[in-house]
A = this chain, B = another copy of it.
């Protein structure tokens, strides 16, 4: 009886310590998550595999909300804050991004080009046509970013560090093109 109580006390105090330590680590350093869905194909969850990728999500690297073009990030969906989505960062605040019309019924801006407002960024899934992203819901508040996907951890054949990289057709526009578009009034600057 004495031994059981001692054991229980040790267990309880270990538990009371371990939970906050673990939670703090997961919140401030990072954790591991399985990627669901096809919106980042072929980079994540490619079709020829039957297992979903598992990625390392780095929380520490986004603690100051500094993200780079080409990063793969997890963020709270602007359409539902309890849902996490994983997308690629295409453009940052101040950038001019070409809006790619995708789905019939997508509410669109008047112009094809959009200026990303301060405090926002533009995200897209690599899988054109199968991704609900900024092409659908516009620029997203950077405050919604949750973590940067730094590595693919599983399956072992796909183990790699994830480097920031933009698709060739999504590179930033050069300043001359931007000036030209602005003169034509072809750039939408959204409210905010």
Interface residues of A (CB under 8 A from B): 16-17, 19-21, 23-25, 27-28, 64-65, 75-82, 107-109, 117-120, 136-138, 140-145, 189, 191-192
Contact = CB atoms under 8 A, between A and B. Distances in A.
A119 B78 contact: yes
Contacts of A107: 189, 191-192
12 contacts: A17-B17, A17-B20, A17-B21, A20-B20, A64-B82, A65-B81, A79-B117, A79-B192, A81-B119, A137-B191, A141-B141, A143-B143
Chain B CB count within 10 A is highest, among A27, A28, A65, A137, for A137
A148 B79 CA distance: 21
Lowest 4 A-B CB distances belong to which pairs? A76-B143, A81-B143, A20-B24, A20-B20
A187 B16 CA distance: 52
Interface centre among A16, A19, A76 (most CB of B within 10 A): A76
Please state the number of chain copies in the assembly. 2
B138 A79 contact: no
A106 to B, nearest CB: 9
B191 A78 contact: no
Nearest to A18: B20
A22 to B, nearest CB: 8
Which of A23, A28, A65, A81 counts the most chain B CB atoms within 10 A? A81
Contacts of A137: 191-192
Nearest to A108: B191
